[in-house]
Amino acid sequence: MGSRLTLTARLTLLFTVGSAVVLLAFGALVMAAIASHFDELDRDELAGKLDYAAQLVATMDRPLSKEAVAKELASSFAGHHELVMQVRGPSGMVWFASPGVEFPVSLVTAPHLSHWRSGGRTFHGLEKTLLVGATAGGALTLVLALDTAHHERFLQSFRVTLWLFVACAVMFMGLLGWVSARRGLAPLRAMRERAATVTAHSLDRRLPVQAVPPELAELAITLNEMLERLEDAFKRLSDFSADLAHELRTPVSNLMVQTQVALSLPRDAEGYRAILESNAEEYERLARMISDMLFLAKAENGLVLVHEELVDVAHEVRQLFDFYELSADEKRIDLQLRGEGALRGDRLMLRRALGNLISNALRHTPVGGTISVAIDQDAARLRIQVQNTGEPIAAAHLARFFERFYRADPARQHEAGEGIGLGLSISQAIAHAHGGEVAAASNDGLTIFSLTFPNSR
Amino acid sequence: MKVLIVEDELKTGDYLRQGLVEAGFVADLARTGTDGLHLALTGDYDLLVLDVMLPGLNGWQLLQSLRRSGNALPVLFLTARDQVEDRVKGLELGADDYLVKPFAFSEFLARVRTLLRRGKASIEPTVLRIADLELDLMRRRAQRAGRRIDLTAKEFALLELLLRRQGEVLTRSLIASQVWDMNFDSDTNVIEVAMRRLRAKMDDDFEPKLLRTIRGMGYVLETSD
């Protein structure tokens, strides 16, 4: 439950509790100060009155009689309603006491005030011994006490006011805390609102980085990076389906037209056979395109299971040369291999990646040319370069070679022997799946495709 | 040879049956997994061709029930799913082979024949023959009409494959995979070149012609009757 509180509620709560503690401590301090101040006032007043009583008693006629002392003191303090007194003779016997007040037998030693309750009233009292000389055969003890009802009433009402104030202040601080938390968290809410508007169609939206406090900027940057990756992946996916639909349309339309034309008139068996054979070619092409696209989709989304093993690259290239030798021979193309290296990866996938590069080179090397594969491995990386002689290729084309269905010359689309334009994309996807990179370069009558893999895998 | 096809896709099922019947098999077709299992358990079949996605009982469940009842009928899976895990699952459940859609009918037929051949203990022939063409596997020699033919190692492997699968149309990708161990589709004309060279050596100067190109499909080695 506690962990599910909103941040605003949490901050408000912390703020409120903090203020309450501070205010309560403050209130308690004030109350204590006032109480001690009253004590001090009472003490001063009682001390003054006691001094006065002592002088009074000192000037009285000797020997002192109980009645005379009581009368004298009673008349002296007659106007003071809240003042009560007790007079004890030399033997400790009570000579006189204010009526209705019970005095404790022993009091705290002056100058400290004694507090006691009697008959529902609270008294602050002070005791003094009145020295009356040797003739009296002892000393008189006078106790003066103040009924604190007046103070009590004041303190009571002050306490109520104070705690009311504290309660209001705590509530006010809570409100203040809530307002500040809300205001402080406003950038977060703004981010949330912005994030809520991000949909598949508006993946280009970004969270504000400049407008939020530094603590949130980091978060905004991270989230923006995530959005960027999502946008990229999403774009790839939608490009992919667009490419797919576009590329599938041509063979399907060929098939439809061809078949419908064939069916429009009765034909001889040879005619039907020709149509079916042509259809079979188109189907094969379609099937291959679909499986290539599927492979690409999986490879690009990192779904292809990589069966890792140590692959001897030179061995793979020799195997591929063995396969492509016949094609190369037809065009009197010389196949060369230099260097060697090993790489951890999926052997079948790497073979396919290399095979696509070599078959691409075979297609574009003129008769009598050379294709050479150079493997070069150092501590950091393994590089495989497939290099073929041929016309220089414009940089604009080079950059796009690895795009799906890209053909340098669109007019040659679907020519016999021409690939379906996925080979190099597949090589790229395989390289990426192995943490590697592809590159193309063309100069001095040489075209070079290279695969570079990090060594420490 | 009796084959049971369990396939819910109407056209696929019909054409598979037609193809098998025309290739000389007796073929029955079941449209649902439940019917398929019933037929497989009661009929006397030599092979079961099984789709994975089926109504009622899917292919995997059907195969499980079949194997649990102690039936060792060879099973060839047909499926549009080509994930390695699916393949492994199918084979672990006791399937004998696995073919991913879309497939070439000739390859399907080749796999059916292989499965039916398997289990029948036959002595591996050391000499393969068709018409007057002979391939001696032990001595690595080929001859036609008594004349020695010089073949490269790859040409020998290629001819051996064609002879072993005579009468079957072999697709380019199957040939590339079997002879060169290239298990991906390559867009070069390697197979065409190889076939042209092989034909020049073993067919051009002789009659009848044995190696035929089937346009849109592949190659077949057969006597022309």
Q: Which of these ranges, A347-351, A452-456, B33-37, has the smallest mean pLDDT?
A: A452-456
Confidence band of A84 (pLDDT split at 50, 70, 90): confident
Question: In the numeric block, which tokens belong to residue A30?
Answer: 């004030």
Percent over 90 (pLDDT), chain A: 19
B111 and B8 in a single domain? The answer is yes
The candidate with the shortest Cα–Cα distance to A216, out of A192, A237, A249, A247, is A192
Please state the rounded mean pLDDT for residues B170-188.
83
* Residue B180 touches chain A, beta carbons under 8 Å: yes
Residue B28 is part of a domain; what is its CATH number?
Answer: 3.40.50.2300
Confidence band of A418 (pLDDT split at 50, 70, 90): low
CA distances from A231 to A196, A198, A228, A234, A294 (A): 16, 11, 5, 5, 21
Can you give A200-230 as a three-state secondary structure string? HHHCCCCCCCCCCCHHHHHHHHHHHHHHHHH
B206 and B137 in a single domain? The answer is yes
Percent over 70 (pLDDT), chain A: 91
> Could you give the 3-state DSSP secondary structure of residue B77?
strand
Asked if A363 and B194 come within 8 Å (Cβ–Cβ), the reply is no
Instruction: Give the residue, B137 or A3, on which the prediction is more confident.
Output: B137
* Residue B11 touches chain A, beta carbons under 8 Å: no
How many other CB atoms are found less than 10 A from the CB of residue B74? 20
Asked if B216 and A283 come within 8 Å (Cβ–Cβ), the reply is yes
pLDDT of res. B1: 81
* Residue B41 touches chain A, beta carbons under 8 Å: no
Q: Among B100, B119, B138, which residue terminates a domain?
A: B119
Q: Is pLDDT of A453 > 90?
A: yes
Confidence band of A136 (pLDDT split at 50, 70, 90): low
Asked if A287 and B183 come within 8 Å (Cβ–Cβ), the reply is no
Asked if B102 and A420 come within 8 Å (Cβ–Cβ), the reply is no
| Number of independent structural domains in chain B | 2
Q: Give the residue ranges of DSSP H helices in chain B.
A: 10-22, 33-42, 59-68, 84-92, 105-117, 153-164, 172-180, 190-202
pLDDT of res. A109: 66
Distance from the A200 Cα atom to the nearest Cα atom in chain B, whole angstroms: 28
Sign of the CA dihedral with A52 first, then A54, A60, and A65 last: positive
Confidence band of A306 (pLDDT split at 50, 70, 90): low
Confidence band of A142 (pLDDT split at 50, 70, 90): confident
Q: Is pLDDT of A338 > 90?
A: yes
Q: Is pLDDT of A343 > 60?
A: yes
Q: Among B92, B119, B146, which residue terminates a domain?
A: B119
Confidence band of A370 (pLDDT split at 50, 70, 90): very high
Q: Are A187 and A215 in contact (CB under 8 A)?
A: no
Instruction: Give the residue, A272 or A396, on which the prediction is more confident.
Output: A272
* Residue B224 touches chain A, beta carbons under 8 Å: no
Q: Are A243 and A236 in contact (CB under 8 A)?
A: no
Confidence band of B148 (pLDDT split at 50, 70, 90): very high
CA distance A446 to A444: 5
Cβ-based contacts of A283 with chain B (< 8 Å): 102, 216
Q: Among B119, B138, B170, which residue terminates a domain?
A: B119
Number of H helices, E strands in chain A: 10, 12
pLDDT of A381-409, one tens digit each? 999 999 999 888 877 777 777 877 776 65
pTM for the model: 0.62
Asked if A352 and B184 come within 8 Å (Cβ–Cβ), the reply is yes
Fold of the domain built from segment(s) A214-298: Helix Hairpins (1.10.287)
Q: Are B170 and B218 in contact (CB under 8 A)?
A: yes
Asked if B185 and A348 come within 8 Å (Cβ–Cβ), the reply is no
Please state the rounded mean pLDDT for residues B109-124.
74
Question: In the numeric block, which tokens belong to residue A293?
Answer: 């696209």
Pick the CATH number of A304-454 from 3.40.605.10, 3.30.70.2340, 3.30.565.10, 3.65.10.10: 3.30.565.10
Confidence band of A412 (pLDDT split at 50, 70, 90): very low
pLDDT of A10-34, one tens digit each? 888 998 999 999 999 999 999 999 9
Asked if B188 and A330 come within 8 Å (Cβ–Cβ), the reply is no
Please state the rounded mean pLDDT for residues A95-120.
75
B136 and B94 in a single domain? The answer is no
Ordered by start, the domain boundaries in chain A are 7-167, 214-298, 304-454
* Residue among A284, A327, A348 minimizing CB distance to B189: A327
Q: Is pLDDT of B156 > 70?
A: yes
Q: How many residues does chain B have?
A: 225
Please state the rounded mean pLDDT for residues A196-204.
80
Percent over 70 (pLDDT), chain B: 96
Distance from the B18 Cα atom to the nearest Cα atom in chain A, whole angstroms: 17
Please state the rounded mean pLDDT for residues A43-67.
81
Asked if B189 and A322 come within 8 Å (Cβ–Cβ), the reply is no
Please state the rounded mean pLDDT for residues B39-44.
88
Strands A370-377 and A334-338: parallel
Asked if A326 and B176 come within 8 Å (Cβ–Cβ), the reply is no
pLDDT of res. B120: 58
Distance from the B198 Cα atom to the nearest Cα atom in chain A, whole angstroms: 12
Specify the DSSP element, H or E, that contains B99: strand B97-100
B90 and B138 in a single domain? The answer is no
Asked if A417 and B188 come within 8 Å (Cβ–Cβ), the reply is yes
Query: Residue B12 sits in which domain range?
Result: 2-119
Q: Is pLDDT of A242 > 50?
A: yes
Q: Please tell me which of A52-56, A109-113, A187-191, A342-346 the model is most confident about, judged by mean pLDDT.
A: A342-346
* Residue among B84, B102, B190 minimizing CB distance to A326: B190
Asked if B154 and A322 come within 8 Å (Cβ–Cβ), the reply is yes
Cβ-based contacts of A359 with chain B (< 8 Å): 186-188
* Residue among A280, A363, A420 minimizing CB distance to B217: A280
Confidence band of A368 (pLDDT split at 50, 70, 90): very high
Q: Name residues 90-119 of chain B within 8 A of A (Cβ).
A: 102, 104
* Residue B200 touches chain A, beta carbons under 8 Å: no
Cβ-based contacts of A276 with chain B (< 8 Å): 216
Confidence band of A302 (pLDDT split at 50, 70, 90): low
Cβ-based contacts of A330 with chain B (< 8 Å): 189, 193
B111 and B54 in a single domain? The answer is yes
B106 and B139 in a single domain? The answer is no
Instruction: Give the residue, B133 or A209, on which the prediction is more confident.
Output: B133
Please state the rounded mean pLDDT for residues A212-226.
85
B92 and B17 in a single domain? The answer is yes
Please state the rounded mean pLDDT for residues B59-66.
89
By CA distance, what is A279's nearest residue in B? Answer: B216
- Mean residue pLDDT of chain A comes to 83
CA distance A114 to A182: 54
* Residue B174 touches chain A, beta carbons under 8 Å: no
Asked if A287 and B189 come within 8 Å (Cβ–Cβ), the reply is no
Q: Is pLDDT of A303 > 80?
A: no
Please provide residue A436's backbone torsions phi and psi, each rounded to the nearest 5 degrees: -100, -175
